[in-house]
Amino acid sequence: MASAELQKVLDLMAERPIGGGATDIQGMRAGMEESAFPATDAATVTPVDANGVPGEWVTVAESDPNRRLLYVHGGGYVIGSPVTHRRLCEDIARAGGCAVLNLDYRLAPEHPYPAAVDDAIEGLKFVQQNGPNGAGAAESVFVAGDSAGGGLTLATLLAARERGVDQPNAAIGISAWTDLAITGESIQTRADADPLITDASMISGMASAYLGSTEATDPLASPLYADYAGLPPLLLQVGDAEVLLSDTTRVTEKARAAGVDVVEEVWDEMFHVWHAFAPMLPEGQAAIERIGEFVNQHA
């Protein structure tokens, strides 16, 4: 049974839709930043140039500077920023005892695919050799992201395999958007349950903006269609009440069939990226704690 706080969060989401209710991209970007939970005074945020890609180190007292996690935010590849996900990065840093590089990768439509993948690869290479205290090889490396960032997390692993870049110790996908062709059955079966993605046309427009002339089934744009052989362990978390549920369950099947160690968690009654509401939602904090356990297990 969900916590009593869930209804309060659902009411808040109804009052503060994605992007603050704006319909233009710039307005949505600003609205998303304005509605985000801020980092606490316990977090240290340090801007950094990650091999030409802007970002910021988010650390807390518990962070081991040699245990590093690259975080790629969600937002359908068109909105979102380090500001919108700074608090989530702080919570993950605390739970996993790691330093988090909150990457400001390029967004569509100004920078369509493969810009985000190229930037994420540079971020991965950067955290492997640089930490919040400067240059130095990492003892362990992780990649994580939510929604589009969850798909980008998987695409980063796939691109790293193609380009001869070392794989991270493990990776985490939160409510990952893995199928930009939008063919999952949960698009229909969870349409009335998902309080965040209430209109399939919204994600269809985001997919078009990101893909440009690229086919929706390109494996680095839609990791659902990839070969998962040789990828590191994965933790894939998704809510049972979200339209992207099938994007996780189908990837889990493919990755396991390819021999990848996958931990799949489907959280009852949870909506898209409920982790972002951890400051007021117990299930969000519990999911982040599970991420911390997974990081500690593979560090």
The catalytic site residues sit at: 147, 242, 272
Distance CA 60, CA 146 (A): 21
Terminal-to-terminal C-alpha distance of the chain: 32
Q: Running DSSP on this structure, what letter comes out for residue 225?
A: G
CA distances from 104 to 51, 114, 200 (A): 12, 15, 26
Distance CA 213, CA 200 (A): 20
| Per-residue three-class SS string for 146-173 | ECHHHHHHHHHHHHHHHHCCCCCCEEEE
